[in-house]
Homo-oligomer: A and B are copies of this chain.
Amino acid sequence: MTPLSPEEFLLIAQQHCAARGARLTELRQQVLGLVLARGGVVKAYQVLTDLQAARGPAAPPTVYRALDFLVEQGLLHRVDALNGYIACQHLECQHHGLLLVCETCNDVTEIDATDSLDQLSAAAARAGFQPRRQDVLLTGLCQSCRQPS
C-alpha cells in the first residue's frame, strides 16, 4: 500500500505503454512527471504553468492532449467532479478503481472495489449498457473531515 515514487511510477508507465503498443513520448512522460511531482489532484492549467516553466512556451492543447493520452492508457484518472487529474493509485495491481472525493478538502483516494464495481457493471449490462472504463467516482466526506479533530 505504500505509494509508488515518481521514479517507480514512470518506470511502470514505460512498461505499461510498451506492452500496449502506445508511445510514451518525451512530452507525455514530462507531463506525467509534472502531475506526479505535484501529487494529488492536479488541474490542466497547473500542468501548463509547470510545463511552461520547464520548457518555455506551451499552449493548452499541448497539455490536454498529453493528459488525454495518459488517461486513455490508465495512468491517470480524470476526476470529473473537480475538473482535475490524478495518478492511478493502483497501477501495479489489476484493479477496478473507485475514486473517493472529499467535498470538504477535495482530497481524492482510490480504493480497490473490484467486486462492487463488477456488480455495478452487471446491473448496467442488464439494462443493455456496456460500461467502458472502470473508474467510478463517489463524493462525500473523508475520514479527516468527518470528525471534528
Contacts and interface: CB of A to CB of B under 8 A. Distances in A.
A103 B132 CA distance: 9
Interface in A92-149: 98, 100, 102-103, 109, 111, 113, 115-117, 119-124, 127-133, 136-143, 146
Interface residues of A, number: 34
A146 B143 CA distance: 40
A50 to B, nearest CB: 25
Contact of A117 (B120, B121, B129): B120
Determine chain A's interface SS by DSSP, over half rule: mixed
Nearest to A118: B116
A60 to B, nearest CB: 17
